[in-house]
Amino acid sequence: MNKMLAVLKREYLQAVRKKSFIIITLTMPVLMGALMFIPSILAVRGIGEKKIVIVDGTGRLEAAVTKPREAPPKKESDKGALEKEVSRTKARNQAMPRFTIEYVNAAGSDPKKVAEPQFARLDGRKVGDEKKVDGVLVIPGDVFENRDATMSYYSRSSTDVIAQERLGRTVNDEVQRTRLTSRGIAEAELETVLDRVDLDAVQLTSSGEEKTGGELNFLVGFLFAALLLIPSLVYGMEVMRGIVQEKTDRVVEVLISSLTPMQLLSGKILGLAAVGLTQLTVWILMGVIAAVATGGAAAAAGFNAFQFLRPEIGAYFAVFFILGYLLYVCFYAIAGAVCNSEKEAQQFVQPVMLVLMIPWFLMMPIIMNPESKLSVGLSLFPLFAPITMFVRVLVSEPPFWHVALSIVLSVGAIYGLFWLTAKIFRIGILSYGKRPTIPELWKWTKVA
């Protein structure tokens, strides 16, 4: 026991004293946050300002497309609800592209033919004194009367969906207003008739507690799944590299003379598990600080970050992280023991890791429907349980027996894998030359 603890202490201190460990521990939350939010920010910034030519076959939509109506603020008696609405409106406006509209009145003419000279400007060619445009919107002349009328948006990109959606919504709003007015609806009543009703996603727990968050809860599920998966893969790789390096340097022959292979294996695995828990504890504390600092802004946007920072969530996270890490690291330890180089070990373990990452590949349907047969089945399958069950606990409220059974099955699988790993490790750690085949590994488990 003392020898195993000595190996554990050495592995732990060797890892946490590295400058790279300190740098990664302090910067990883920032990097992960950047990876989540910077692409969306760049996408919005990249939209920029677009110049659009609108060819109007009706001749009646100039005011609507050049000066779009702004929805009047809702009358809210609740100050908090009003602030929430204002926050949402600002977010929507920031995510929308800015348009410079060039209006062409094509009333009484074929709008498609009128628009044809403008198509050359999509390539950047000048038409007279007119410069390049980003898109051309053609509105048919019978759009008010014909229910089957279709607008056409021409651009050099088939994926300019944000511009299409906003332009289409602007024209459709005005078409609806005109149709309603022509049927006797007073102008003053149109806002009430056309006003949209917001929909909030609310999770109702068995105790009656209401939790909100909607789309942000979806992102939190992905974030916590990544926090479970990535450190397990990283520290599993460290265990594999350490074993391969000790085999290559023949250091392991000296180590085995003073302690058993099981003591060496357990010390390495548990030492790096402690490193991972240390790193995750720091990240969680940084998350709590960030949640406290930004709690007001998040609450205004309808997201309560503290619903994910409950003590039971922290306990479940620690339990499932340890279970997931121990499951993954056994395969890495086997790869390190039976292979003679890091490249060979990576090739050996890669197919297994692809199978173990199935919950990550299926994370979207799991988060969207945590009580489906797929989610429940994956959460009760030992190799997939740590990630899947924790995500279910995070975004829903599975029966306690599901959670307990998941933990018991994972512990049983880890026990079996440790037994198998120890058998292979005992022979493989001193084996050199050709990498053993699967039948040979099976023989090792019987001999050791």
Write out pLDDT tens, residues 102-144. Answer: 888 888 888 889 888 888 888 766 555 567 888 889 999 888 8
Lowest mean pLDDT among 311-315, 316-320, 358-362, 414-418: 311-315
Confidence at residue 252, expressed as pLDDT on a 0 to 100 scale: 62
Confidence at residue 308, expressed as pLDDT on a 0 to 100 scale: 58
The residues pairing with 135 across neighbouring beta strands, listed in sequence order, are 52
Residue 116's identity, in one-letter code, is E
Q: pLDDT at residue 30 above 70?
A: yes
Residue 171, helix vs strand vs coil: helix
Lowest mean pLDDT among 39-43, 101-105, 131-135, 217-221: 39-43
Highest mean predicted confidence (pLDDT) among 76-85, 276-285, 294-303:
276-285
Confidence at residue 381, expressed as pLDDT on a 0 to 100 scale: 92
Q: What totals of helices (H) and strands (E) does the chain contain, helices first?
A: 18, 6
Confidence at residue 380, expressed as pLDDT on a 0 to 100 scale: 92
What average pLDDT score do residues 330-340 get? 80
Confidence at residue 303, expressed as pLDDT on a 0 to 100 scale: 52
pLDDT band of 268, cuts 50, 70, 90: confident
Q: Specify the higher pLDDT residue, 273 or 131.
A: 273
What letters, b where the CB count within 10 A reaches 16 and e where it falls short, cover 27-63? ebbeeeeeeeeeeeeeeeeeeeebebbbbbbbbbbee
Confidence at residue 407, expressed as pLDDT on a 0 to 100 scale: 93
What average pLDDT score do residues 253-271 get? 74
Average pLDDT score, the chain: 77
Structure tokens at 396: 């829903």
Q: pLDDT at residue 301 above 70?
A: no
Confidence at residue 125, expressed as pLDDT on a 0 to 100 scale: 62
CATH of domain 49-196: 3.40.190.10
State phi, psi for 210 to the nearest 5 degrees: -105, 130
Q: pLDDT at residue 97 above 70?
A: no
Confidence at residue 36, expressed as pLDDT on a 0 to 100 scale: 64
Confidence at residue 329, expressed as pLDDT on a 0 to 100 scale: 85
For the chain, the distance separating the N- and C-terminal CA atoms, rounded to the nearest angstrom, is 21
Yes or no: say if 19 and 275 are a contact pair by the CB < 8 Å rule: no
Residue 125, helix vs strand vs coil: coil
Q: What is the C-alpha to C-alpha distance for residues 65 and 59, in angstroms, rounded to an integer?
A: 11
Long-range Cβ pairs for the range 40-43 (8 Å, 24+): none
Structure tokens at 292: 């406290």
User: Which residues make up the CATH 3.40.190.10 domain(s) of the chain?
Assistant: 49-196
Angle at alpha carbon of residue 393, lines to 381 and 203, rounded to 5°: 135
**Percentage of residues in the chain with pLDDT exceeding 70?**
74
Q: What is the C-alpha to C-alpha distance for residues 403 and 393, in angstroms, rounded to an integer?
A: 8
**Percentage of residues in the chain with pLDDT exceeding 90?**
6
pLDDT band of 289, cuts 50, 70, 90: confident
Q: What is the pLDDT of residues 193-215, one digit of tens each?
A: 777 777 776 766 666 666 665 55
Q: Specify the higher pLDDT residue, 2 or 321.
A: 321
Q: Which pTM was predicted?
A: 0.66
Q: What is the C-alpha to C-alpha distance for residues 222 and 259, in angstroms, rounded to an integer?
A: 42
Q: pLDDT at residue 91 above 50?
A: no
Residue with tokens 């229910």: 147
Lowest mean pLDDT among 89-93, 104-108, 164-168, 357-361: 89-93
What average pLDDT score do residues 236-262 get? 73
Q: Specify the higher pLDDT residue, 74 or 227.
A: 227
Q: What is the pLDDT of residues 181-192, one digit of tens each?
A: 888 888 778 777
Residue with tokens 């051309």: 136
Confidence at residue 212, expressed as pLDDT on a 0 to 100 scale: 62
